[in-house]
């Protein structure tokens, strides 16, 4: 058995109850085969694959807080500090009822490669809680965030581990957590990113993941002789990534005609208005069903019990598909729908939204496929820029940050493209991104000895 297959078996055995983590490792290992096989003896002796799949540290803790009725609630908090070979652990905090250790290990593992691709010095980590922020009052959110940070603060720091937002954690939550960290530590440092602009946040961080996705997509299309202007697109999700992806796609001359949330989806043939989404999702924090009250020509379809998440969006005919929701929301059936409808490109704006079978189907059918660890890296890249600004105690203009983000996304595309070509897999950006991300981390790990 090859070294890669041997370690994959070991990972499956040791993490049998964590299917998302196994899925993420399987995808990366398939891509790494040619790289590892070219130097198998060294990598085996150094146990590089065993080390890279074992988090450096995993922290789990109790998060007690009091709800508005005076009832004590208890959630489980996590931080997975996956790999610090190239910089302090860096990655978001997910707040969602579905959060468990296996999910955060998958996200932390992905983050290691994603952060490596950004060219910035950031290791990989991820954290969060099974706390569900939906329907909670502001006071309850603050009570949870303060309690969460009351344990987390001892494990993080500007040069140790720098958490940020993710699903369920936005500017409001980062603000409450930052306040509590400062109070407990009595230091004012860039320990979290995605902060408010008045206390160390970076301009363009809010827009960065969505904008970055489009900078990447435009470059990928252009390098394949296709102009994004005039194309139609469908987006899943309607949160932070989706909103700014829709804005940037529209600015680039594309027309986004569908998007979704967990309860249903909207079709707007005239083009989704991102400002309305912002109002519904960021100000009112309510359901996408509201969209048709602003745009009567649009059509809302509620998800029925048993319907797959985002499925409706993938039945719409469009040139470009941008999954910006959560993991595993494009399966083989969705991929077949999209291909039958003539999709040209699929670019992931989330972590692993396309399952392995669907990814392979796209690639086998000539669809340009951008994996999330490359095309969704704009958020964390701009977090890296926020860290730089905090370190030098300066803030850059929106244009300066946006320009740097654009250059980073273009360079990520070319790193993935070049690596794929180098190993004879031209156009396979999944393999290219995994290889380019891995090579930098593995080189650093080997140089740092057994640790
Ligand atoms: N949660 C985002 C991601 O998945 C951002 C992480 C960060 O800014 O540290 O990349």
Span 369-378, mean pLDDT? 98
Mapped onto helix, strand or coil, the DSSP state of residue 64 is: strand
- Nearest atom (ligand 1) to Cα of 162: 9
Q: What's the chain's length in residues?
A: 451
Ligand 1 centroid distance, CA of 91 (Å): 5
Whole-number pLDDT of residue 436 = 98
The answer, yes or no, to whether residue 13 has pLDDT greater than 90, is: yes
Ligand 1 centroid distance, CA of 141 (Å): 20
Candidate of 109, 166, 171, 401 to mutate for ligand 1, largest count of ligand atoms within 8 Å of Cβ: 166
Ligand 1 centroid distance, CA of 107 (Å): 10
Span 234-250, mean pLDDT? 97
- Nearest atom (ligand 1) to Cα of 376: 10
Q: Is 328 left (phi over 0), alpha (psi -120 to 50) or beta?
A: left
- Nearest atom (ligand 1) to Cα of 377: 10
Ligand 1 centroid distance, CA of 53 (Å): 19
Ligand 1 centroid distance, CA of 95 (Å): 13
Candidate of 81, 94, 96, 111 to mutate for ligand 1, largest count of ligand atoms within 8 Å of Cβ: 111
- Nearest atom (ligand 1) to Cα of 163: 9
pLDDT in tens, 374-412: 999 999 999 999 999 999 999 999 999 999 999 999 999
Ligand 1 centroid distance, CA of 208 (Å): 10
Candidate of 24, 121, 164 to mutate for ligand 1, largest count of ligand atoms within 8 Å of Cβ: 164
Under 8 Å between Cβ of 350 and 327 = yes
Q: Which of 90, 126, 195, 231 is catalytic?
A: 126
Pocket of ligand 1 (CB under 6 A): 90-92, 164-166, 193, 351, 379-380, 383
Candidate of 383, 385, 388, 408 to mutate for ligand 1, largest count of ligand atoms within 8 Å of Cβ: 383
pLDDT in tens, 200-238: 999 999 999 999 999 999 999 999 999 999 999 999 999
Span 150-164, mean pLDDT? 98
Annotation marks residue 126 as catalytic: yes
Among the listed residues 112, 26, 15, 32, the one whose alpha carbon sits nearest the alpha carbon of residue 359: 26
- Nearest atom (ligand 1) to Cα of 107: 4
The continuous run of DSSP H or E covering 232 comes out as: strand 232-236
Span 275-285, mean pLDDT? 94
Geometric angle at alpha carbon 189, from 383 and 145, rounded to 5°: 75
Q: What is the mean pLDDT of the chain?
A: 97
Q: How far apart (Å, rounded) are the C-alpha atoms in residues 324 and 307? A: 18
Span 74-93, mean pLDDT? 98
Ligand 1 centroid distance, CA of 377 (Å): 8
Whole-number pLDDT of residue 166 = 96
In sequence order, what are the beta bridge partners of 258?
Answer: 234, 267
Q: What does the block give as tokens for 293?
A: 């009250």
Whole-number pLDDT of residue 309 = 87
Q: What is the dihedral of CA 429, 435, 437, 442, to 10 degrees?
A: 180
Ligand 1 centroid distance, CA of 379 (Å): 6
Maximal CA-CA distance, the chain: 64
Minimal-distance CA residue to ligand 1 atom 10: 380
Whole-number pLDDT of residue 392 = 97
Minimal-distance CA residue to ligand 1 atom 9: 91
Under 8 Å between Cβ of 21 and 67 = no
Q: How far apart (Å, rounded) are the C-alpha atoms in residues 203 and 330? A: 32
Span 309-321, mean pLDDT? 96
Q: How far apart (Å, rounded) are the C-alpha atoms in residues 101 and 79? A: 9
Higher per-residue pLDDT: 33 or 309: 33
Prediction pTM value: 0.96
């Amino acid at each position: 058995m090859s070294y890669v297959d041997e370690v994959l078996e070991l990972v499956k055995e040791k993490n049998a109850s964590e299917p998302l983590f196994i899925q993420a490792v399987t995808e990366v290992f398939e891509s790494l085969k040619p790289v590892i096989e070219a130097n198998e003896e060294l990598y085996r002796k150094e146990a590089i694959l065993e080390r890279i799949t074992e988090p450096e540290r995993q922290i789990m803790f109790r998060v007690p807080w009091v709800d508005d009725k005076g009832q004590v609630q208890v959630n489980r908090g996590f931080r997975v500090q996956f790999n610090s070979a190239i910089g302090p652990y860096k990655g978001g905090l997910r707040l969602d009822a579905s959060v468990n250790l296996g999910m955060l290990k998958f996200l932390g593992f992905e983050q290691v490669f994603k952060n490596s691709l950004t060219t910035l010095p950031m290791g990989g980590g991820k954290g969060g809680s099974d706390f569900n922020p939906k329907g909670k009052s502001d006071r309850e959110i603050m009570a949870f965030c303060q309690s969460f940070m009351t344990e987390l603060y001892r494990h993080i720091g500007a040069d140790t581990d720098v958490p940020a937002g993710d699903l369920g954690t936005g500017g409001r939550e980062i603000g409450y957590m930052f306040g509590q960290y400062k109070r407990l530590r009595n230091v004012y440092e860039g320990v979290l990113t995605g902060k408010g602009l008045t206390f160390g946040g970076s301009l363009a961080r809010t827009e960065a993941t969505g904008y970055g996705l489009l900078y990447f997509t435009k470059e990928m299309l252009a390098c394949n002789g296709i102009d994004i202007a005039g194309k139609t697109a469908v987006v899943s999700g309607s949160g932070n990534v989706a909103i700014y992806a829709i804005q940037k796609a529209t600015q680039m001359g594309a027309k986004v005609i569908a998007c979704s949330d967990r309860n249903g989806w909207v079709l707007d043939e005239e083009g989704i208005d991102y400002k309305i989404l912002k109002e519904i999702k960021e100000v009112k924090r309510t359901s996408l069903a509201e969209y048709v009250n602003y745009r009567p020509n649009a059509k809302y379809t509620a998800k029925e019990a048993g319907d797959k998440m985002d499925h409706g969006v993938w039945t719409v005919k469009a040139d470009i598909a941008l999954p910006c929701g959560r993991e595993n929301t494009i399966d083989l059936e969705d991929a077949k729908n999209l291909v039958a409808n003539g999709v040209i490109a699929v670019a992931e704006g989330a972590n692993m939204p396309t399952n392995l079978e669907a990814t392979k189907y796209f690639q086998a059918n000539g669809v340009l496929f951008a994996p999330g660890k490359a095309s969704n890296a704009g958020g964390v890249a701009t977090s890296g820029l926020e860290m730089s600004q905090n370190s030098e105690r300066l803030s850059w203009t929106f244009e300066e940050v946006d320009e740097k983000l654009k250059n980073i996304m273009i360079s990520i595309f070319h790193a993935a493209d070049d690596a794929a070509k180098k190993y004879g897999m031209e156009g396979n950006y999944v393999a290219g991104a995994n290889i380019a991300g891995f090579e930098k981390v593995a080189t650093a790990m080997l140089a740092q000895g057994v640790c």
